[in-house]
Chain A
């Protein structure tokens, strides 16, 4: 099975889940509760590590519940890389959907061409954004980055839409971002800013799942560079912390039909 098919399935299931979970809760079955800021499945707590880290900065408390809640995201990150972004994040799903619409409308591509220094530049930008956001969190004394976490906003707005039938003002921020994504730069939030993805990248383990070129020589069609959503060169930069293990390069590689050229490796 192609990786793309698996990825689309999990993405669609996640998008359905953010609407179905509140509906189940409306029936007073409180098995799964919460949004992508923080979620309980049964008694298993899962939280966004960034949200928890901000609480540590702003209120200077840390308890066992919070430690247990970041265990699964960090473990997933160590083993499988940044799959949260490419396989589950609802914002990434919507952005990919917008890109698909652009393709169907036959509009000109807004994806920037690959340049050698681009990945390290976007890494610098997103880490500066994350650190300045964390410093602001400390100064303001409230978890201020939670106001702009797109996946949390989308899931909580879905909850409110299901439960009360209206949306609150937070959705405006997401709509603005989506407009920029649609008309100006492709995937600019995920690539340059998203603080949650940036914090997750810190836990990228060298021996975790990563894209690797198996053979020394390939047909050099550079198809993988064209399709890479993060603007990387998968042949050499598979272990870059910007890579979100979406597997698009592996699906696109024409050489893979003959011999395994690009492959996920653990």
Chain B
């Protein structure tokens, strides 16, 4: 039984087709990982034209993908200059890609347990900070698509949207070690973003946000409900938010 499992592992997972690691992406325009490994001839042209020295040649630590180009975003992120896709001779990088919004090399994931802003918000909700937490906002400030790929929820919590291209500048600049924000390369399985329930909840959330025409719904509704003060005495005179004429002309 053990032997057959080992054989299954050996033959079904082709070790030549590459493997995924966090914070290690292919250059922009790369095709699917297994196709990339088929097509890349390790000619190092993309490495040569990269003006930021972001793309590096894989070493022995990357096993059989040695010699292929990678972006190790913790050292240097991709600055989306789009010089590399056009020089690839075999189509491992999509030669026609010019629009930086269509780059899809990964997606950023925030670790909410270590991110300064999330810690600050947590402290604040408890009632007053202990002084340890601080606001940072670095990822929001360095993002090439602020308010599109990353939004500040309630003006403090950074949230990554689906528009994130995975350039990794936020990872390079994140002041926390280990990094509180990581790039999950395209094709890598990720617990926090994978599966049926994630997709379903995302769709429901999007739907609830869309139907907000004048009415409270989704997040806004939740916020409104939380803000209702139940301890407040209700004996006070209710103030109407519409004009009512209680003047002397009133008939009663």
Which residues on A are within 8 Å of B, measured CB to CB?
A: 21-22, 25, 28, 30, 33-35, 37-40, 45, 47-48, 51-52, 54-55, 58-59, 61, 63, 65-66, 69, 140-144, 146-147, 152, 156, 159-160, 163-164, 168-170
Contact = CB atoms under 8 A, between A and B. Distances in A.
Contacts of A37: 41-44
Contact of B91 (A21, A63, A170): A63
Given A55-B38, A66-B89, A34 B43 contact: yes
A163 B76 CA distance: 14
B188 interface: no
B57 A160 contact: yes
Interface stretch (B46-54, B127-135, B145-153): B46-54
B57 A156 contact: yes
Contacts of B39: 55, 58-59, 61
B166 to A, nearest CB: 23
Given A45-B89, A52-B90, 5 more contacts: A34-B43, A40-B45, A146-B67, A147-B67, A168-B57
B14 interface: yes
Nearest to A25: B48
Contact of A141 (B17, B44, B53, B83): B17
Contacts of A142: 16-17, 37-38, 40, 64
A239 to B, nearest CB: 31
A59 B44 contact: no
B67 A170 contact: yes
A146 B37 CA distance: 12
B223 to A, nearest CB: 50
B145 to A, nearest CB: 26
A213 B247 CA distance: 125
B87 A33 contact: yes
A144 to B, nearest CB: 7
20 contacts: A22-B48, A33-B45, A34-B43, A35-B44, A37-B43, A37-B44, A47-B43, A47-B89, A51-B43, A52-B41, A58-B38, A140-B16, A142-B40, A143-B40, A146-B41, A147-B67, A152-B42, A152-B43, A160-B44, A163-B47
B35 A169 contact: no
A28 to B, nearest CB: 6
B87 A59 contact: no
Contact of B87 (A40, A47, A141, A147): A40
B60 interface: yes
B211 interface: no
B26 interface: no
